[in-house]
Structure 1
Amino acid sequence: MNYNLLYKYIKELLSIPSPTGYTEDVEKYVVNFLKSRDIRYKIANKGSVIATIEGKDKINVTTFSTHVDTLGAMVKEIKENGRLSVSLIGDYVISSVEGECCTIHTKNNKKYEGTLQNIKPSIHAYANESKQIDRSTENYEIVIDEEVFCKADINNLGIDVGDMVSFDTRTRITSSGFIKSRYLDDKAAVGVMLYVIDYIILNEISLSHTINFLFTNYEEVGHGASAFIPKDTMNFIAIDLGCLGEKQNSTEYDVSICTKDSNGPYDYKLINYFINLCKEDSINYKLDIYDNYGSDAISAIRSGLDAKFALFGPGIYASHGYERTHIKSLEETIKLIIKYISN
């Protein structure tokens, strides 16, 4: 496997800010990738991108999905002290981005840097108050890296309520194969998908059936794959993170196959089919249940899609925080996708 190529895609994707609702640049990245490989694609009204590679069987079609949108925030209030309160995009603990550098993306296409701090960030100034302050959203503010002292100063910069906020990813790839970054959910899987497309082309893989590759842009808020899915889709497979933690089975070294999430069970026969594929090719996998989780597969099914549906992907530690995975988990995920589309 060409690790350098996979790393390249993931690093490039992570370098493009794309909180839900602000995904145009990353969508262009995906489109340019597809154009350069002469792959047929369509763009939805709300920005999702779908690419199609035809296979021998054009009736039993599979749609894979990944999502290009990430967590983030929006400017909720311009405060009298010249700072900004925020409203979160997606579900995460705000203390996970405390002290993190961020960028404010204004509606007139300007960018300003800042830092998200709690309102009493200094031990020297606030002593125990700094330690004991409730880590809730209303106790956080963006300190902008500009000479601003009041609300009028912020207005003069062109910053307004509803402007987007992206947080620095702090992407690191270690010599031991670990990838650390914000937003590995789901850009690690998007990188996997691009790698698979390249693999199909470069190795002239003959697909057993037609495959759609769907890149959605509203997954973090629950309606990523609610539309724009080809009606001939018989199997809908979301490629997204596997949850790590206490009482979880997933690891950073295997492909994680979800059997049930907060919405209920995934398709039993399709899960068993994946298990058998893994056993045939000695693909390292873990079965798991994600009790606090939803996916594009669920969005698709709730939209009325009559298809078998499943979810698998790389195991990711500290999901929706400063995340980590290992190249082995990405490799096992790629192996399972390639095995499936070739079988």
Structure 2
Amino acid sequence: MLYKSLISLYGSSLAGKSAPKDDLIWHFAPSDDLRQFRVYALDALQQAKVFLLDHLAAAYTDTLHDAVSKQAEEVGVPAMAILGEVKLPAPIVWVEFDDRELGVARFERASPVTRHDDKPSGTGLRGYLLDDRHEGHLRITMFHHRENSRVVDPICALLVNRTPTGQLNYDDVEVELSRSVVDFRLRSGDTMEMIQGRRTVHQVETGYDLFIPYALFAMLVSPDLGGIIPTETETFTAKDTKTARKFGKSWILGAQKSHLTIRIGPQAAAHLAERTARLEFERQTVEERNGPVRHWVSEHERHYRSGKVVLVKGHHRGQAPDPNLPTRVMGPKPDAASFEFPATEAPN
């Protein structure tokens, strides 16, 4: 779990107990800026209400994003605007999911975001730290732990400014660049052009997948929970706590002892199954080797350029569909899916 890794890493580094092999940036490019960021991040993580989406819950939430994105494009507004004003369930929230598994799910269901990909693009664990304690803006910090690599501090954070009435304005977003990470990248041999590219990628990924935590918050306050099942789960076990006391790891003792694991229920599972069946049906019907689905052709005349006219008797045409493949799948089409959430506040 990325949340636990960050708590341990940042706590160890601030206490002077981290190892260079686990925390390269802290030992290779130490700075006051880096220390200040980690003090802030550790404190925020310890206070945050924590949500962990399993791979099916993340995929289900992302199908909502696909549907809403198309609707948003048609009316010319950000996808977040379709959800409306969604309140965070706490002043500070952490939402985590497996980006690798999400990438596979997107690729398999032919999500619009993968239209130019030839393979899944997810690369590890991703976590959003949403800090809503400032009156003027919402701070969004996205952490991404890529596979087979160390945890590296994010290169930037997003500040979503508020309107005079207090609403978040997603057309007014500032990018806060991390000077400590920039310095680390320069010392590692990156050019400013490469660093700018990293910043752009991080900013785009943060903005695109920000929809997932907000869709989760909207579902949590819907009457039927939107097809998801939250379950309280132990984060740090009694053994973890005992070890932390023994070795003076106060950063673990000060963290949340439990989190909400989000899984899908029967309603969401049915929705994902319907989409999978529909995509398989569409894939098979467009392949040339399958030809058209078997159907009746009424008697008609066929006219040729030479003037010849031939009477074609009524007949069946095409191939019978696979008996294991539904020809009609109940539920909304991918481009017409609609999700409605009541304008209620999140529970405390």
TM-score range, shorter chain: under 0.3
TM-score when normalising by structure 2: 0.26
* Larger helix share, 1 or 2: 2
Larger strand share, 1 or 2? 1
TM-score, scaled to structure 1: 0.27
Higher relative contact order (CA 8 A, sep 6+): 1
